[in-house]
Amino acid sequence: MEFENTYEDPVRAKAYSKLEFPGTYFLAFRDLPEIFARHGRGRRTLDLGCGSGRSTRFLRRHGFSAIGADISDDMIRMARGLDPAGDYRRIDDGDLGSFPDGSFDLVLSMFTFDNVPTWEKKLTLFREVRRVLQDRGAFVSVVSSAEIYRHEWASFTTKDFPENRNARTGDRVRIVVTDLEDRRPVEDIVWFDEDYRELYRRAGLDLVERLEPLGRPDEGIAWVSETRIAPWVIYVSARSSREHNLALPWARDE
Ligand SMILES: C[S@@+](CC[C@H](N)C(=O)[O-])C[C@H]1O[C@@H](n2cnc3c(N)ncnc32)[C@H](O)[C@@H]1O
């Protein structure tokens, strides 16, 4: 069955556009300014999978010049409405062709790869990210950890989806965002760490830092699992000098 982008939906796009940095989301954004300071080599940024623009506005607030790009018309419409001065572009899946080689110092993607379903689609995008980065540019990707789909959180519940526990890389999993007024489960694709590492390798991106942010007791947030288990993984990668053209794992199955 075709995986449908859960965010190509006007009701969900509207609900999502009201989301800022509550609860568990705070942990996805908390450490980014320090990460940008450590790895940033300039201000030209692409926010890949910008959604309704929360992550793009975050970049702009931190002094970056940011273009937000997304495959969902509904999300791009919301982003433009919330930030008329911003630059938001609707792109086709896997296609960053409107951006020349080396045009960005930083590519950020926040939760985008939770919704990119296959090895082939993820690798196509990773290679495109590599192409649009300048030589010393950095790619910061924040994704859901495999653990997020198996526990309870300040902003999410998964207790109604025990089947998530058996999911392997590439499988669909369900999760409810309790911070949203739209309580329909979101369908994501789970991806385990070793398989993300393999994608970076195949795309010719070197992993330079990997973080699993944990909640701290003094943050004034009613953490549930967040002080013990990381809900998010932050991967920082950079262009490596050579691109790997190894046999692709899905090609063997065809
Ligand atoms: C969970 S939302 C996150 C939005 C935003 N980054 C934020 O932090 O609020 C994920 C977004 O990724 C987008 N997306 C999914 N697949 C994509 C692809 N292949 N290329 C670009 N965007 C994609 C979805 O349309 C959705 O808007």
Calpha distance 171→161 (Å, rounded): 13
Calpha distance 59→121 (Å, rounded): 25
For residue 38, the CA-to-ligand 1 centroid distance in Å is: 25
**Largest distance between two CA atoms of the chain:** 52
Of 137, 136, 134, 156, the residue nearest 147 (C-alpha): 156
Calpha distance 207→140 (Å, rounded): 10
| Tens digits of residue pLDDT in 178-210 | 988 888 999 999 999 999 999 999 999 999 999
Residue in the structure block whose two tokens are 């699992």:
225
Report residues whose beta carbon is within 6 angstroms of any ligand 1 atom.
5, 7, 48-51, 54-55, 70-72, 75, 93-94, 110-112, 115-116, 125
Predicted confidence (pLDDT) at residue 93 exceeds the cutoff of 80: yes
Hey, which of 3, 90, 115, 155 would you mutate to test ligand 1's pocket, going by the most ligand atoms within 8 Å of its Cβ?
115
Q: What are phi and psi of 142, to 5 degrees?
A: -105, 125
Q: Name the residue at shortest CA distance from atom 14 of ligand 1.
A: 49
- Mean pLDDT computed over 21-28: 94
Q: What is the pTM of this model?
A: 0.92
What token pair was written down for 231? 């809900």
| Tens digits of residue pLDDT in 102-112 | 999 999 999 99
CA geometry: angle at 203 spanning 199 and 204, to 5°?
Answer: 120
Calpha distance 107→55 (Å, rounded): 11
Structural domains in the chain, CATH included, are: 10-147+192-240 (3.40.50.150)
